[in-house]
């Protein structure tokens, strides 16, 4: 498996923040069961070599620093979320009851094949928020498509599937869809009004552009309206 994302500058900055010399850092890593020479740490900080996953985990623990800081990114992919929680692929696969070969394939191909139960266990293990879970398992495009159908047609029939998808109360989702449907309708009313009034082409193009931008941010707008309102546990 390839080396994880790693920022030499962030690693050095994290060590300097807590005032540890390299010798103490590798000593702390050794106490965690990972023995590496000082030269290894210096090669990581210089950018000459990137640490492995296990080395990254041990370094983060020794520096009392979150893994995403050392990776210098906000986790987005399945692998990045796993690394952020300091799981090896084998341990996470075992945690969610999935064959490790299937799990590794999901990371590599960016295609989630887990069952509903495995998906729920994955979200729990990695602490994934609904929008992160959708991105990880590749359902962001499905959300966009359902929302577009809802605002362009009869939104009530999409309440239940969208509530299930984002893990929110149907009442909350219904209120959000009603609002979005009304906002979309106003774009159409403005456009048709100017069309009937024979407004100039520039004005019609401006309204069409505003509508396109609104549709582009439709998922974010929907998630803001639902507020990640999760239903109570049964």
DSSP string, 122-175: HHHHHT--HHHHHHHTT-HHHHHHHHHHHHHS-GGGGHHHHHHHHT--HHHHHH
Whole-number pLDDT of residue 228:
52
Whole-number pLDDT of residue 99:
96
3-state secondary structure of 33: coil
**8 Å CB contact between 152 and 171:** no
**8 Å CB contact between 103 and 79:** no
Cα atoms in the Cβ-side hemisphere of radius 13 Å centred on 200: 2
- Residue 39 CB neighbours (<10 A): 12
Whole-number pLDDT of residue 168:
79
With vertex at residue 151, the alpha carbon angle to CA 195 and CA 231, rounded to the nearest 5 degrees, is 155
Which H/E stretch holds residue 194? helix 170-196
Whole-number pLDDT of residue 232:
43
Helices 218-226 and 170-196 sit at what angle, rounded to 10 degrees?
140
Which H/E stretch holds residue 224? helix 218-226
Whole-number pLDDT of residue 195:
64
Q: How many residues does the chain have?
A: 234
Has this prediction a pTM greater than 0.85? no
| Mean pLDDT, 10 residues at a time, the chain of 234 residues | 88 96 97 96 96 97 96 90 96 96 88 86 91 75 84 91 82 94 85 66 77 82 72 42
With vertex at residue 214, the alpha carbon angle to CA 210 and CA 136, rounded to the nearest 5 degrees, is 150
Whole-number pLDDT of residue 1:
60
| Inter-CA distances, 143 with 52, 64, 103, 222, 223, Å | 35, 38, 24, 10, 10
């Amino acid at each position: 498996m390839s080396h994880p994302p790693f920022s030499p500058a962030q690693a050095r900055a994290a060590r300097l923040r807590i005032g540890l010399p390299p010798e103490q850092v590798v000593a702390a890593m050794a106490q965690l069961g990972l023995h590496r020479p000082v030269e290894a740490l210096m090669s990581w900080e210089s950018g000459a070599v990137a640490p492995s996953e296990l080395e990254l985990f041990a370094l983060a623990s020794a520096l009392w620093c979150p893994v995403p800081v050392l990776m210098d990114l906000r986790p987005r992919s399945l692998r990045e979320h796993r690394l952020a929680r300091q799981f090896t692929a084998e341990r996470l696969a075992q945690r969610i009851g999935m064959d490790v070969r299937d799990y590794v394939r999901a990371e590599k191909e960016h295609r989630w094949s887990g069952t509903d139960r495995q998906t729920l266990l994955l979200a729990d293990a990695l602490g994934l928020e609904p929008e992160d879970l959708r991105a990880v398992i590749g359902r962001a495009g499905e959300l966009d498509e359902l929302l577009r159908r809802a605002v362009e047609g009869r939104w009530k029939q999409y309440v239940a599937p969208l509530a299930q998808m984002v893990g929110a109360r149907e009442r909350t989702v219904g209120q959000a869809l009603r609002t979005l449907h009304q906002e979309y309708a106003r774009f159409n009313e403005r456009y048709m009004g100017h069309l009937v009034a024979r407004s100039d082409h520039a004005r019609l193009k401006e309204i069409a552009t505003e509508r396109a931008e609104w549709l582009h941010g439709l998922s974010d707008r929907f998630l803001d309206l639902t507020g990640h309102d999760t239903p109570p546990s049964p």
